A and B are shown apart, each in its own frame.
Chain A
Amino acid sequence: MEGDVVEYRIDRQSGIPAYVQIVRQTEQALRMGVLQVGDRLPTAKEVVAATAINPNTVFRAYRDMEQAGLVRSRRGLGTFVTRSLARPGAEDDSPLRADLAAWVARALAAGLERDDVLALVTAALDEHDEQHEHDPGDRGRKQEDA
């Protein structure tokens, strides 16, 4: 139930609105299991004091996440995580991760460079998306990886 479980970093040069960055970083923390159900998100004041961004931005990000059902704010207490995005496969010791590590080792052994590996993964994901024709709410994801 600690309030300092996540720390937001705002990239000022990215051109991505700060509230989008907060939402994405929260989602990422939820996916990684860094944030769990019941955790309290830092207060707007704490975020703002650490990042020097407009408090209205934080309010907006939290409101968006509340509407998405990820968090709920309780008056006077703070904003709490209500749903987890962690998938079993994303944890550090999962079999998928082990598979990926082995694959990366093979790719590097085959003479691929870091950028080649990333391009390969992105291409595979894109191909997958096209085949399955569905976009599960990650609108900005492609841009972000590009």
Chain B
Amino acid sequence: MTGPDEPAALHATELGFGYRARGDRALRDCGFTVPRGRITALVGRNGAGKSTLLHLAGGLLRPTHGRIRVLGTAPDSAGARTRVALLTQDKPLYPRFTVADTLRMGGKLNASSWDRRVAERVVREGGIALSARVGELSPGRRTRVALALALGKRPELLLLDEPLADLDPVVRTEIMATLMAEAAERELSIVLSSHVLPDLEQTCDWVLLLRAGRVELSEDADALREGHTLLTGHVDEEPALREHTVVHRRRHGRQLTALVRPRGPVGGSWHVERPPLEEILLGHLQDGAAPKEAAA
């Protein structure tokens, strides 16, 4: 898909970040690489550090430890600013601007790379009038305008923090379709965080899973699917799992259900299923001691 010499979309080494006010570290010892041209699902529970990671990649925060590179450069460099777009969770826009004003602003702020056609198309696909005031739009339409602003600058890397939260299923699908169509047309890497795991099933081909501030998975989605099996059997069969990685296990009476990353053939008699991505991700998120809940 991309040459081996091309810098990765995201590359972090020993990345750490601590909010001074809270004292604890939101991210610690994160090392991972997300190749270019991928649509990456950034998953994790609340407070796992998803937003922090995206803000670091977008240059809104600076790492307190280690470093992160986007497309091979520092996130707050001028080069990265023109090539990376970040849409934060609150999708901030000026409420008193009209949609046309907002897009004109995009053009003025990105003089060299702005593509008005793309931005206007994204807005039009949502049936949004250019003369509408941003503050009066529904959440879904606001998201679409914010997305138009992000896509209009023709980024090579698009970072989206919970772009689908608070949107109804129809709008979610529409926005996802717009994103995917944009990715189909040109070289665009997308990293999107989401709690809506089913939405990620058919859209993402790379998974970045955070647990309590650490990166647990950074892997191709198909490799994940192929690398996991869901075993159901008698609890007495459990010792057979010893030489494999058990991601998650659940006992119910005499029945044992285990999400396993086998290292070779699994002995014993089991009912074997190939779990969907959603179940694999859930298994990794639930595994072991539950991570600390985010402070309300």
A residues sitting closer than 8 Å to B (CB atoms) are 10, 12-13, 15, 17-18, 43-45, 48-58
Contacts and interface: CB of A to CB of B under 8 A. Distances in A.
A18 B177 contact: no
A18 B275 CA distance: 15
Contacts of A51: 177, 202
B39 interface: yes
Interface residues of B, number: 26
A15 B202 contact: no
Interface of B: 1, 37-39, 173-174, 176-181, 183-185, 198, 201-205, 222, 225, 274-276
Contacts of A55: 180-181, 183-184
Contact of A57 (B37, B178, B202, B274): B202
Contacts of B180: 48-49, 52-55
A51 B174 CA distance: 9
Contacts of A18: 202
Contact of B202 (A10, A43, A45, A50): A10
Contact of A48 (B177, B198, B276): B177
A12 B169 CA distance: 13
A53 B181 contact: no
Contacts of B37: 56
Contacts of B183: 48, 54-55
A49 B178 CA distance: 6
A25 to B, nearest CB: 14
A45 B181 CA distance: 5
A3 to B, nearest CB: 15
30 contacts: A10-B202, A12-B198, A12-B201, A12-B202, A13-B198, A15-B274, A15-B275, A15-B276, A17-B222, A45-B181, A45-B184, A45-B185, A48-B180, A48-B184, A49-B177, A49-B178, A50-B177, A51-B202, A52-B173, A52-B174, A52-B177, A52-B179, A53-B203, A54-B39, A54-B202, A54-B205, A55-B180, A55-B183, A55-B184, A56-B205
**Chain B CB within 10 Å, residue with most, of A17, A18, A44:** A17
A52 B37 CA distance: 17
A63 to B, nearest CB: 12
Given A15-B275, A48-B181, A52-B179, 17 more contacts: A10-B202, A17-B222, A17-B225, A18-B202, A44-B184, A45-B185, A48-B177, A50-B177, A52-B177, A53-B203, A54-B39, A54-B205, A55-B183, A55-B184, A56-B38, A57-B202, A58-B184
Given A15-B276, A17-B222, A54 B181 contact: no
Contacts of A43: 184
Contacts of A56: 1, 37-39, 205
Contacts of A45: 181, 184-185
A54 B204 contact: yes
A18 B177 CA distance: 14
Nearest to B277: A15
The list of the 5 closest CB pairs from A to B, nearest first, reads A55-B184, A52-B176, A52-B177, A48-B180, A49-B181
A72 B260 CA distance: 40
Contacts of A57: 202, 205
A20 to B, nearest CB: 11
Contacts of B204: 54
